Amino acid sequence: MPDTVTANSALEMQGGEAIARIIRAFHGGPMFGMGGFQLLPLYEAVRRFDMPHHLMNDERSAVFLADAYAKVSGRVGLADATLGPGATNLVTGLAEALNAGTPMVCVVGDTHRDHAWKNMTQECRQTELLRPVCKELIRIEAIQRIPELMRRAFMVATTGRPGPVVVDVPEDLMHATHTFQAEEFEVDAIHEAAPALRCRPDGRAVEQAAALLAGARRPFILAGGGVHISGAAETLTGFAHATNIPVAHTLTGKGAIPCTDPLSAGLFGRYDRIANGLIDEADVILVVGCKLGEIATKRYTVPGPGKTIIHLDIVAEEFGRTRRADVLLWGDARLGLEDLQAALLAKAPDTKSRLASYAGEVPVRMAKWREDVAPRLHSTERPINVARLLTAINTVLPEDGILVADGGFAAHWGGLLFDTKRAGRSFVPDRGFASIGYGLPGAMGAALAAPGRPVLSLTGDSGFCMVLGDLETARRLELDFTVIVVNNAASGYVKALQHLVYGAGNYHSSDLTEVNFAEVAKAFGVTGIRVEDPEGIEDALRQAMAIKGPVVLDVIVTRDPAKMLPGVDNRAAVIKKGDRIA
* pLDDT value, residue 567: 67
Instruction: Return d(Cα 395, Cα 534) in angstroms, integer.
Output: 14
Q: Is residue 263 helix, strand or coil? A: coil
- For residue 10, what are the CA distances in angstroms to 7, 149, 180, 346? 9, 19, 6, 58
Residues of each domain in the chain carrying CATH 3.40.50.1220: 203-363
Q: Which of 321, 254, 333 shows the shortest CA–CA distance to 294?
A: 321
* pLDDT value, residue 121: 85
Average pLDDT, the chain: 95
Query: pLDDT band for position 517 (50/70/90)?
Result: very high
pTM of the model: 0.95
Would you call 437 exposed, middle or buried from its count of C-beta atoms within 10 A (0-12, 13-18, 19+)?
Answer: buried
* pLDDT value, residue 184: 97
Q: Is the pLDDT of residue 5 over 60?
A: no
* pLDDT value, residue 119: 84
Q: Is the pLDDT of residue 17 over 80?
A: yes
Using a pLDDT cut of 70, give the percent of the chain over it.
Answer: 96
| Residues 368-382, mean pLDDT to the nearest whole number | 95
Strand-strand pairing, 31-34 and 527-531: unpaired
The beta-strand segments (E) located in 57-216 are: 77-81, 104-110, 136-139, 164-170, 177-181
Instruction: Return d(Cα 520, Cα 12) in angstroms, integer.
Output: 49
Q: Are 287 and 311 in contact (CB under 8 A)?
A: yes
Q: Are 226 and 251 in contact (CB under 8 A)?
A: no
Q: Reply yes or no on domain 378-563 having CATH 3.40.50.300.
A: no
Using a pLDDT cut of 90, give the percent of the chain over it.
Answer: 92
Q: Is the pLDDT of residue 2 over 90?
A: no
Query: pLDDT band for position 3 (50/70/90)?
Result: low
Q: Give the full edge-to-edge strand order of the sheet including 308-313.
A: 264-267, 247-249, 219-223, 284-288, 308-313, 327-330
State phi, psi for 547 to the nearest 5 degrees.
-85, 135
Distance between the two ends of the chain, CA-based, in angstroms? 53
Backbone dihedral region for residue 358 (phi beyond 0: left; psi -120 to 50: alpha; all else: beta): alpha
For the chain, the residue count is: 582
**CA 15 to the chain's CA centroid:** 32
33 forms beta bridges with: 55, 80
* pLDDT value, residue 573: 43
Q: Which amino acid is at 34?
A: M
Dump pLDDT digits (tens) for 270-309. 999 999 999 999 999 999 999 999 999 999 999 999 999 9
| Residues 142-155, mean pLDDT to the nearest whole number | 98
| Residues 1-29, mean pLDDT to the nearest whole number | 85
Residues of each domain in the chain carrying CATH 3.40.50.970: 10-192, 378-563
Dump pLDDT digits (tens) for 323-361. 999 999 999 999 999 999 999 999 999 999 999 999 999
Question: CB count, 10 Å around CB of 139?
Answer: 14
* pLDDT value, residue 408: 81
CA dihedral 203, 207, 212, 215 (to 10 degrees): 160
Instruction: Return d(Cα 91, Cα 126) in angstroms, integer.
Output: 10
**Domain spanning 10-192 has what CATH number?**
3.40.50.970
Q: Out of 113-122, 144-153, 449-458, which region has the weakest mean confidence (pLDDT)?
A: 113-122
**Domain spanning 203-363 has what CATH number?**
3.40.50.1220
| Residues 63-68, mean pLDDT to the nearest whole number | 98
Q: DSSP string covering 109-123, please?
A: EE--GGGTTS--TT-
Dump pLDDT digits (tens) for 490-509. 988 899 889 988 999 999 99
Q: Which of 262, 544, 259 shows the shortest CA–CA distance to 417?
A: 259
| Residues 560-574, mean pLDDT to the nearest whole number | 65
384 forms beta bridges with: 557
* pLDDT value, residue 500: 86
